[in-house]
Structure 1
Amino acid sequence: MSESTAAPAVRRDPPPSMVERMTLILDAFTGRSVRLTLEDVARHTGLPRSTAHRILDQLVRQRWLEHNSYGYALGPRALSLGGRDGGHGKIREAAAPLLHELQITTGLVAHLAVLDGAHVFYLDKVGGRFASSVPSRVGGRAPAHSTALGKAMLAWLEPEQVDARLGGALNRLTNRTIGELATLHQELHRIRRRRGLAFERGETFPGIACVAAAIRGPEGPVAGISLVGDIRTPLENVAPLVAAAAREASQTLFPSTAPARRPRARRAEFAPPAEDSWSPETLNRLLAMDGRGEWM
């Protein structure tokens, strides 16, 4: 972590107040790309390791910081100060043409969202005649555990991160909503086995169905793309298109981690690259891994 070496020198007498200690910790993060471990924070601030850990946990819970296997980084609340949007503008820019193409190709409503604590936060919505029937809006939120968008992103977090975001109780919005963490973890495991495809039918709103896939970076999910229709929509038919759009957005946002890209096909041939394309037989096998029809 080359950026961490530029942090302030160790203080011999840590400030006494909680506000000062929190400020000292936040000041150690000198840029949005800085990643620090607990040991880094303790060394740079001069705080005892146990004290630093306790305050870091509080800052993560309040979304000032984020924590994953790479360490701690500035969270959405810190990045939103001063008009910064936490990178949402770049995500919207990368996903916008893909959302429009999905909507035109399928006639369904396309969504783009990010995780915001225990919820998904909608960055974009592109829809046709069905759009007014879908009770979502740009700038709105929905529980992550009941939406395909949320589950698609949660599936690529570590289990303890999922637990920390959602807490112990999961609210049931309908009789189809997952209400226990253990059941949710089983569903997230199935999503990973389906190569990231998440489905939901009537879990958030009766009569609404959705398929989603996460836009992933080198450190985990950064957003999700979904298609939404009514409960009778054959989502299995459009699932490969959602997966391809999420993959293309990932490659656009993180080109250094993407494999060599082939020329993009015309809209009429919108499909994953040949090596990643899914035959009907492959898709059926992936979907059959659930062994349970109620989440599909």
Structure 2
Amino acid sequence: MTVITEAPARSDKREVPPSMVERMTLILDAFDGRAARLTLEEVAGRSRLPRSTVHRILDSLVKLNWVEHAAFGYRLGRRALGVGGDGGHAEVREAAAPLLHDLHMQTGMVVHLSVLDGHEVIYLDKVGGRLASSIPSRVGGRVPAQSTAAGKAMLAWLDPERIDALFGTRPNRCTERTITDLGTLHLELNRIRQRRGLAFEREESARGVACVGAAVRGHEGPVAAVSLCGDVRTAQLERVAPLVVDAAREIGRTLFPELGNARRASQPVTPVLDTWSPEARSRLAALGQTSGWI
């Protein structure tokens, strides 16, 4: 007797689609800054997901306040900023927004606005136009504070005991250049204090990236930081450093105008590095004499 067996049904081999979490991440990463405003087609193009999928997920993200939707398109919502609500950061972003734009236009570099959260920094804003994609950071993202110029600029205004409590005995590493020794970190923060708060980093947070940053100071310490980032091979950090100091000072003046007069009675300016250009040295000295730097 011949037994006829059915051949197993052939199934078309398809690539397993990403999980919902992966799709959501791709969509949020399409926004390269808090100010980014994208159409549905632009989000679909950047995320490389089907338009119908993007539309469905965006609707859910809007309902949950991860994304905002208006006539101009979509932009990141408050939850996407990763700060657990405003916490006063909306005011900081508003004060900083025009200055971040000006910094980018003047230098052509990527500009970040960051806040300190424990031993990490959170990016509140990122301005860089087409260059933004070359820097591996995103609004709402977190990185170890000691690995970034902005983070170190804020840490430098904290008490050494606070630094010990934040980092324990071994700070986290991002690259082979990241400071992971607590003693070395204290030395670096002391150098930043001697420069009146100006911080540098070269490939400590990401390979190929160099940054300069300065903190925005309030009544009880640093409230935010501004930084400029570019290619480590071409970025002239010393030349643009005065612009970063100036921007941080202006943001602080907007947020805390009552502190302006007190800071004018500043200490003598600490000499800057001899490798800096005469133009940069003169600008930095002038800022220090008139406003205590920041």
Match of 1:120?
121
Q: Give yes or no for contact 2:238–2:277 (8 Å, CA) kept in 1.
A: no
Aligned pairs for 1:259-278 (under 5 A) are 259=261
Residues in 1 aligned to 2:220 and 2:95: alpha-carbon distance in whole angstroms: 18
Match of 2:176?
175
Match for 2:241 among 236, 239, 242?
239
Match of 1:164?
165
Match of 1:100?
101
Q: Give yes or no for contact 1:156–1:221 (8 Å, CA) kept in 2.
A: yes
Gaps of 5+ in 2: 1-81, 264-268, 285-294
Residues in 2 aligned to 1:281 and 1:192: alpha-carbon distance in whole angstroms: 21
1:75-134, CA deviations, whole angstroms, 9 ceiling, x for partnerless residues?
A: xxxxx99x7411000000110111000001100000001001110001000002321011
Structure 1 length-normalised TM: 0.61
Q: By how many angstroms is 1:167 displaced?
A: 2.0
Matching of residue 222 in structure 1 with residue 226 in structure 2:
no
Provide the alpha-carbon RMSD of the alignment: 2.8
Amino acid at match of 1:252: T
Residues in 1 aligned to 2:222 and 2:86: alpha-carbon distance in whole angstroms: 17
Q: Give yes or no for contact 1:149–1:198 (8 Å, CA) kept in 2.
A: yes
Amino acid at match of 2:155: L
Residues in 2 aligned to 1:197 and 1:208: alpha-carbon distance in whole angstroms: 17
Cα 1:104–1:283 shift into 2, 3 Å: closer
SS of the counterpart of 2:196?
coil
1:193-221, CA deviations, whole angstroms, 9 ceiling, x for partnerless residues?
A: 11111000001111000000000012100
Q: By how many angstroms is 1:166 displaced?
A: 1.7
Residues in 2 aligned to 1:166 and 1:133: alpha-carbon distance in whole angstroms: 29
Aligned pairs for 1:4-43 (under 5 A) are none
Same amino acid, percent of matched pairs: 63
Amino acid at match of 2:112: H
Match of 1:269?
none
Q: Give yes or no for contact 1:113–1:124 (8 Å, CA) kept in 2.
A: yes
Gaps of 5+ in 1: 1-79, 262-274, 287-296
Q: By how many angstroms is 1:281 displaced?
A: 3.9
Residues in 1 aligned to 2:204 and 2:164: alpha-carbon distance in whole angstroms: 20
Residues in 1 aligned to 2:237 and 2:255: alpha-carbon distance in whole angstroms: 26
Q: Give yes or no for contact 2:211–2:229 (8 Å, CA) kept in 1.
A: yes
Cα 1:205–1:252 shift into 2, 3 Å: same
Bigger Rg, structure 1 or 2: 2
Match of 2:251?
249
Residues in 2 aligned to 1:106 and 1:284: alpha-carbon distance in whole angstroms: 18
SS of the counterpart of 1:138?
coil
Structure 2 length-normalised TM: 0.61
SS of the counterpart of 1:245?
helix
Q: Give yes or no for contact 1:211–1:227 (8 Å, CA) kept in 2.
A: yes
Q: By how many angstroms is 1:172 displaced?
A: 2.3
Q: By how many angstroms is 1:169 displaced?
A: 1.1
Q: Give yes or no for contact 2:239–2:280 (8 Å, CA) kept in 1.
A: no
Amino acid at match of 2:251: A
Q: By how many angstroms is 1:259 displaced?
A: 2.7
Q: Give yes or no for contact 1:108–1:128 (8 Å, CA) kept in 2.
A: no
How many residue pairs align between the two structures? Answer: 193
Residues in 1 aligned to 2:281 and 2:253: alpha-carbon distance in whole angstroms: 26
Q: Which runs of 4+ in 1 moved over 3 A?
A: 278-286
